[in-house]
Every structure is written in structure tokens, then in C-alpha cells.
Amino acid sequence: MDIDAELRRQIVVSLAAVLVFVVGLVAVGSRYGTGTGSSGEISLAPAGGIALVGLLGGFVLLMALVGVYLMRANDTDGSI
């Protein structure tokens, strides 16, 4: 299977978007994590839950924008 430039671009852009999401997860966890509880579980402050929901919504929007970008980048005649 030969990977052409278009497929390579799709892979790189999608992986970059996922990497941004993972970095966001780590940032939310480190900023709003409250440490371990009595039974060893890691808990998240209530504001962290809101930040996590915002991060998930932002990721959905980011992936939609990535899809639109890739669709338009593949369009050669200028139409949608």
C-alpha cells in the first residue's frame, strides 16, 4: 500500500488535532486534579469537570474544522 501526499496530510493533521486534545487533557488534569482520595482514586475539582466538558466540546469543533479543511484541500475545482 502506497501512501500518497494527500493521505499523509490527512494523517498528520488528524494526529496533530488529537495531540492537542491529549495535551489539553493533561493540562486539565494537572490544573484541577485534587490528588488521590482515601481509596487511591484520583479526583477532579468541580471546575475541572466544567473545563473537561469545554475541552471535549472544543475537540468536537476542532475535528469538524479539520474535516472541512481536509475536504476543501482535496477540492480541485473550487466547488464545495
What pLDDT, on a 0 to 100 scale, did the predictor assign at position 78? 52
Sequence-separated (6 or more) residues with CB below 8 Å from residue 49: 32
Domain boundaries, the chain: 48-72
Q: What is the mean pLDDT of the chain?
A: 87
Whether 44 and 51 have beta carbons less than 8 Å apart is answered as no
- Report pLDDT digits (tens) over 5-15: 888 888 999 99
Statement: the pTM of the whole predicted model exceeds 0.75? yes
pLDDT surpassing 80 at residue 40: no
